[in-house]
């Protein structure tokens, strides 16, 4: 692990923006990270990731990459593989963990193989297949495109009409169409930093479903409560389950996992985010702050973990 003094002598490239549907969120994450690092006396270059990324990295003489990308071409192992081949240490998870974590279908398979509790699901290759085949569980269901993040294209479907619309919407986006059994309960998310459970935050959305608008919409009314209002045994179980998922995927740096807790105390893990958001409304910084880590300290911890993983 590099020291802070080592890192302050290097050129840090904050990779942001990108070409995915989550570009706007990434721009906000990257801007916040770059601002914090500059204020802490690091030499920072912001790079909007486009097709000329290799040339930009060379032209800017980047020594270390801080990945603030979300979605395809940034969170899915693509950029990680490029950085490995250019021998530029980078933050976050490596190629394999990133690609598996981005593909919800493969993530589910890892959860099932490792005994990590997760809702039942079914996968369809096409819109027609999803609409023609009978589901193995009843409505309501959650429909998701398998390769998008930040709840892009994710919909709650309570009836046949909503299901048809949700499938068509998901079918326009990347990957397979995953239909997941809806679990009624409280939304909680657990963070892991440097292979240690950091804590669990509770989400109280003003909307019925914690979708993209509830996450990022101006004045959405969504409330965040840290620590989550769970009894100690359940709180610890969420922490340990999120850590188990982090390790099962082989993740590095920080991850944030989405989970549901039912009234009976049942826990279901939904997915792992291998590059959590770093915006003003993002949950990793909120959890870190609740544990006494400032945003700048969090950025420094992530930066210190930059490495080659291959």
- Residues annotated as part of the active site: 22, 150, 216, 256, 258, 271, 273, 277
Say if residues 196 and 162 touch (Cβ distance below 8 Å): no
156 close to 142: Cβ distance less than 8 angstroms: yes
Between CA 87 and CA 159 the distance in angstroms is 51
- Tokens at residue 249, please? 């995927």
DSSP string, 257-270: EEEEE-TT--EEEE
Kindly report the backbone phi and psi dihedral angles of residue 16, in degrees, each rounded to the nearest multiple of 5, phi listed first. -140, 175
Longest dimension (CA), the chain: 60
d(CA 261, CA 143): 19
Token couple for 31: 């801007």
- The helix or strand, by DSSP H or E, that contains position 295, with its residue range, turns out to be helix 295-304
Gap between the Cα atoms of 150 and 271, Å rounded: 11
Residues 6+ apart with CB under 8 A from 185: 260, 261, 262, 263, 266, 268
CB of 255 closer than 8 Å to CB of 97? no
Query: How crowded is the C-beta side of 119, counted as CA atoms within 13 Å?
Result: 26
First-to-last alpha carbon distance for the chain, in angstroms, is 16
CA distance 160 to 236: 38
């Amino acid at each position: 692990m590099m020291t802070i003094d080592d890192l302050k002598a290097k050129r840090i490239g904050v990779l942001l923006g990108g070409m995915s549907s989550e570009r706007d969120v990434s721009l906000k994450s990257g801007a916040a990270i770059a601002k914090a690092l500059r204020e802490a006396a690091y030499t920072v270059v912001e790079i909007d990731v486009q097709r000329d990324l290799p040339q930009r990295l060379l032209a800017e003489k980047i020594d270390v990459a801080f990945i603030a990308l979300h979605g395809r071409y940034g969170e899915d192992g693509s950029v990680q593989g490029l950085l490995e081949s250019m021998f530029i240490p980078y933050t976050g998870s490596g190629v394999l963990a990133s690609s598996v974590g981005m593909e919800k279908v493969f993530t589910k398979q890892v959860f099932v193989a490792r005994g990590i509790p997760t809702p039942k699901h079914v996968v369809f290759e096409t819109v027609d297949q999803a609409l023609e085949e009978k589901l193995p569980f009843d409505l309501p269901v959650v429909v998701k495109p398998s390769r998008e993040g930040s709840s892009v294209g994710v919909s709650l479907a309570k009836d046949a009409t909503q299901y048809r619309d949700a499938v068509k919407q998901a079918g326009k986006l990347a990957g397979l169409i995953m239909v997941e059994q809806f679990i009624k309960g409280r939304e909680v998310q657990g963070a892991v930093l440097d292979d240690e459970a950091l804590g669990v935050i509770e989400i109280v959305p003003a909307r019925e479903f914690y979708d993209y608008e509830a996450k990022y919409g101006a004045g959405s009314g969504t409330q965040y409560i840290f620590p989550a209002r769970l009894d100690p045994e359940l709180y610890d179980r969420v922490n340990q389950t999120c850590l188990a998922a982090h390790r099962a995927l082989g993740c590095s740096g920080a991850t944030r996992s989405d989970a549901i807790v039912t009234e009976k105390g049942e826990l279901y893990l939904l997915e792992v985010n291998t590059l959590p958001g770093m915006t003003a409304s993002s949950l990793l910084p909120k959890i870190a702050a609740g544990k006494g880590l400032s945003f700048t300290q969090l950025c420094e911890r992530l930066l210190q973990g930059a490495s080659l993983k291959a």
